[in-house]
Structure 1
Amino acid sequence: MDSGTHFVMGIALGGLALADPVVANHSMTFTAVMAGTIIGSQAPDVDTVLKLRNNAIYIRHHRGITHSLPAVAIWPILITVVLSLILQDVNVFHLWLWTFLAVGLHVFVDIFNAYGTQAIRPFSKKWVALGVINTFDPIIFSLHCLGIVLWAFGTNPVWTFSIMYIVIVIYYILRFAVQRAVKKAVHHTIQDEEYVIVAPTMRFFHWRIAAKSKTHYYVGRAYGRTVNIYDKFEIKPLPKTPVIDAAMKDSNLAAFVSFSPMYRWEISELENGLTEVRLIDLRYRSDNRYPFVAVAHLNDDYEIVTSYTGWIFTEDKLQKKLQIGASN
């Protein structure tokens, strides 16, 4: 989920903590728990700072080790130690318990996004992505905001947020049901698909579709059970050439391949004599464009002159990024 949703989840969990008599009857412990649930709800996303280095590192590691099983255990301990040093006379165990729930909830809800997490690491580095909830879901965010407002106006936070989470659980179940219906509709439309990605959007009945058969990739959208296929690409394996071998060793392209389960490629000769290798993720079609790409420019000696990976929505911006890379 996005940072804003995780923030309001932290507040809601802090309100639910008042169901705990130790928290409810000790103001300092409640203050510490509220701080712990808010910080714990944000802590796993500390890897966002990797963007300051480059997109390749960010793509490889975001929602990776910071969302792993060891991290879920370590984050609450670190947060509890710091808060117990700042706020004296708090119940350390109950502070740790609610902070642990906040961290665990963060990682758990991220599993339901299309991006996913490496939540079962170190047992596996596989990305767990159920793809039923958009990274920002306006319904989930609005329900949390409504609950917080009601609490501010005097309603019982335990009852308020308990009811809210029951509603959200029902909402999740409905999302799974709709996703399943969309997958069936995709099967009826394509029929020979081997692999289908049905990803959510901010609209309840709107879904992004990327599918693979033995011979083609299909990209489209679904509204309920109505499936529209916009693009169809013949599957062509990457050629085994010196250019491709050199390009695939580049950190940007390697990061892209580690993250993207469905992409196509293009090779072109540029006017400046360089060769461009472009990988295009098929999951994120938007406004007739595929914004998530990895691009490398190579010279005649198969050396990388410049490369880039990330979300780019215009060709001009992509070329500017590549020019910046070439000048560094």
Structure 2
Amino acid sequence: MDTGSHLIIGATLAGLAYVDPVVAHNPSLAQAVMVGTLIGSHAPDLDTILRIKGFSYYIRYHRGITHSIPALLIWPAFITLPLMMAYSRWDDWMHLYGWIFAAVILHVGLDWLNAYGVQCMRPFNSQWMHLDVLAIFDPFLFFLHAFGLGLWWAGYDPAGVFTWVYAISIGYIGLRAWWHHLLVKQVINMVGRQSICHVLPDLRGFRWSFVVETDECFYTGKIVFRTIRMEDVYTKEKRNHIIQATMGIDGVRTFLGFAQRIHVTWREHNDGYEVKWSDVRFWYNRKLPFGVDVQLDRELKVIDYSLGWRKKAWDPPFV
């Protein structure tokens, strides 16, 4: 999810920690938990520093090792130790560690629920996993948790407030997961052939997009409630010698390590060729906004390439 959502959930988790009597009756421990859950809710995304080494490096490693199974245990330990020293809460380390661990788990779990995905099973499996249930920013969850913080600030009991906030959140996510499952089955039945289907969330909760891959092509379209509308069909092209000439460059290797529904096209220019690799999962409004564009000369030597989003950061799709 986005940084703001992770941080607000870190704050509300500190409020939920008041269901723990040890936290509720020790103000200094409660303060340490607040600091710890705020840091823990964002810690796995500290790998964004990799952007300084270039977007290709960032795509290759973001949401990887820092979101892996070992990291789920290492991040809480790394955060808990200095907080125990700062607040002198050595006897309560299990409570502090436990709530920070919950913050890290929530971060990775929420990332798993969106369409971008996460390598959360490393080192046992490096596959990108995504459940496609939530957009990277979910307005309902954000404002629900913000409302809970407002009630806490107004003096309401945080244990009661956030028990309800988290119960509603779990119910909402479960409902969206169930709805998503129904939509995937509906889209596959509409296509009526053996296929791989992704139904992807929109900021507006009742709207979705879909991508269906068959042996010959990709079908794309939109869903409003349960009304499905097919929009574009992308035919798969054979990977000729022009396309093959781009597969050794760093940007394409990075893209192929991340992308799942891969579509590639090429066209000829006066001075060479252009090859466009795209991930159809991120189809939006008759465009394929995520991929890598490679420029070749007449001898099929790479002149230049660009990897990333062919859109402005605030434009859809939001993943």
TM-score normalised by structure 2 residue count: 0.92
| Kept in 1: contact 2:188–2:195 (CA 8 A) | no
Which residue in the other structure is 1:88 paired with?
Answer: 88
Write the letter of the residue equivalent to 2:257: S
Q: Give the Å deviation of 1:54.
A: 1.7
- Amino acid paired to 2:233: K
Counterpart contact for 2:236–2:264, Cα < 8 Å? no
Segments of structure 1 that go 5 or more residues without pairing to the other structure are: 315-328
**In structure 2, what is the Cα distance between the partners aligned to 1:85 and 1:10?**
21
Which residue in 1 is equivalent to 2:260? 261
Q: Which stretch of structure 1 is more off in the superposition, 18-27 or 40-49?
A: 18-27
| SS class of match (1:283) | helix
Q: SS at the partner of 2:78?
A: helix
Q: State whether structure 2 residue 168 is matched by structure 1 residue 167.
A: yes
Cα distance in 1 for partners of 2:296, 2:87 equals 57
Equivalent residue of 2:41, what SS? helix
Count of aligned residue pairs for this structure pair? 311
In structure 1, the residue matched to 2:235 is: 234
Instruction: Report deviation, 1:281.
Output: 1.9
| 2-structure distance, mates of 1:51, 1:189 | 41
Contact map agreement 1:208 1:222 (CA 8 A) in 2: yes
Q: Secondary structure at the match of 1:265?
A: strand
Measure the CA separation in 2 of the matches of 1:237 and 1:157. Answer: 59
1:211 matched to which residue of 2?
212
Query: TM-score of the superposition, structure 1-length normalised?
Result: 0.90
Q: Which residue of 2 aligns with 1:303?
A: 301
SS in 2 for 1:203: coil
Q: What do residues 254-274 of structure 1 show as CA deviations (whole Å, max 9, x unaligned)? A: 111111111211112233x13
Q: How far has the Cα of 1:171 moved from its partner?
A: 0.8
- State the 1:89 CA deviation: 4.3
CA RMSD in angstroms comes to 1.6
Q: CA deviation at 1:301?
A: 4.2
Q: Distance in 1 between matches of 2:16 and 2:143?
A: 18
Task: Please state if 1:149 is matched with 2:147.
Answer: no
Residue 300 of structure 1: CA displacement?
3.9
Q: Distance in 1 between matches of 2:253 and 2:51?
A: 17
1:222-274 alpha-carbon deviations (Å, 9 max, x no partner) = 112211111112222322x2x43331111111111111111211112233x13
The aligned counterpart of 2:269 is 270
Counterpart in the other structure of 1:285: 283
Residue 6 (structure 2) aligns with: 6
| Residue in structure 2 matched with residue 320 of structure 1 by the alignment | none
Any conservation in 2 of the 1:178–1:205 contact (CA below 8 Å)? no
Q: Identity over the aligned pairs, expressed in percent?
A: 35
| SS, match of residue 93 in structure 1 | helix
Q: 2-side partners of 1:78 and 1:206: how far apart?
A: 40
Range with bigger deviation, 248-257 or 38-47: 248-257
